[in-house]
């Protein structure tokens, strides 16, 4: 799957430099590219791709928590992926939804993070996609080894539980076991793997969430 398809999961309308909604960011380590198909695009030094687009629907902000989870799970499933995490934010001026799912391409995992936020100018979506390069499976192997050494994985059932079907729905047995939410996907392990694509995706989403909470009326901000 191309990076462009990873960044375009929904029906969205363009957010171009001359659009009414302007976002001015200093993205450390990211270089903005010419707009592509109605999206603003940034490429990261590590190979990740970040996009911004305006959405033509406010569904995410009128839906219930369970509907939001189902929608996020469907987005992942439609791309043969598995949902890793989902968070919602309810604030006076900005409601937001963020989620991460992962896909498998060959032996490499690819992670996609979505951040959907309501602004005064309408709902917009940030999407970041990043994947493993070179050696793959290191995070999973190291965490599994630590859990075995600590006796956290003692039985066959413990090992099976390491591959959780879905962080929100234990009945999601239709999810491919290879893209389920592993224990190693937990954010507590991000500091051990700061350059891992999942850690990078979470870091950018965290910065975007901070911007959404503290952004000024001119929509300016800085992502370090």
pLDDT, tens only, 138-158: 998 898 888 777 776 677 777
Q: Say if CB 60 and CB 137 are below 8 A apart.
A: no
- Judge whether residue 89 has pLDDT over 70: yes
**Residue 205 falls inside a structural domain:** yes
Instruction: Say if residue 65 is in the same domain as residue 172.
Output: no
Domain of 124 in residue numbering reads as 3-135+196-223
Quick one: pLDDT at residue 19?
40
**Residue 130 falls inside a structural domain:** yes
Nearest-angstrom CA–CA distance, 106 and 102: 13
Quick one: pLDDT at residue 109?
94
- Judge whether residue 51 has pLDDT over 80: yes
Within 8 A by CB and 6+ apart from 21, the residues are: 15, 54, 119, 121, 122, 124, 219
**Residue 190 falls inside a structural domain:** no
Nearest-angstrom CA–CA distance, 84 and 165: 10
Instruction: Say if residue 24 is in the same domain as residue 88.
Output: yes
* Average pLDDT for 32-47: 82
Within 8 A by CB and 6+ apart from 216, the residues are: none
pLDDT confidence band for 180 (50 / 70 / 90):
confident
Quick one: pLDDT at residue 17?
41
**Residue 29 falls inside a structural domain:** yes
* Average pLDDT for 17-28: 53
**Residue 128 falls inside a structural domain:** yes
Q: Say if CB 147 and CB 162 are below 8 A apart.
A: yes
Pairing of strands 12-13, 95-105: unpaired
**pTM of the predicted model as reported, rounded to 2 decimal places:** 0.82
Q: Say if CB 80 and CB 176 are below 8 A apart.
A: yes
pLDDT confidence band for 217 (50 / 70 / 90):
very low
Instruction: Say if residue 97 is in the same domain as residue 126.
Output: yes
pLDDT confidence band for 111 (50 / 70 / 90):
very high
**Residue 62 falls inside a structural domain:** yes
- Judge whether residue 82 has pLDDT over 70: yes
Instruction: At 215, list the tokens.
Output: 């952004």
Instruction: Say if residue 34 is in the same domain as residue 145.
Output: no
- Judge whether residue 65 has pLDDT over 70: yes
**Residue 191 falls inside a structural domain:** no
């Amino acid at each position: 799957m191309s990076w462009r398809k990873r960044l375009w999961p929904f029906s969205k309308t363009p957010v171009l430099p001359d659009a009414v909604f302007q976002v001015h960011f200093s993205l450390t380590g990211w270089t903005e590219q010419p707009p592509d198909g109605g999206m603003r695009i940034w490429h990261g030094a590590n190979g990740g791709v970040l996009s911004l687009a305006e959405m033509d629907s406010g569904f995410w902000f009128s839906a219930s928590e369970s509907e939001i989870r189902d929608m996020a799970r469907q987005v992942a499933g439609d791309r043969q992926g598995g949902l890793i995490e989902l968070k919602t934010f309810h604030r006076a001026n900005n409601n937001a939804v963020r989620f991460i799912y992962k896909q498998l391409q060959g032996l490499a995992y690819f992670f996609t993070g979505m951040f959907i936020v309501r602004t005064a100018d309408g709902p917009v979506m940030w999407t970041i996609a990043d994947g493993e390069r070179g050696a793959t499976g290191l995070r999973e192997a190291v965490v599994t080894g630590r859990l075995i050494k600590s006796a956290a994985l003692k039985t066959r059932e413990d090992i099976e539980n390491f591959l959780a079907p879905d962080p929100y729905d234990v009945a999601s047995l239709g999810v491919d076991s290879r893209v389920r939410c592993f224990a190693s996907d937990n954010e507590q392990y991000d500091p051990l793997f700061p350059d891992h694509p999942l850690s990078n995706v979470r870091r950018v989403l965290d910065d975007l969430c901070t911007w959404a909470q503290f952004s000024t009326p001119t929509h300016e901000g800085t992502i370090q």
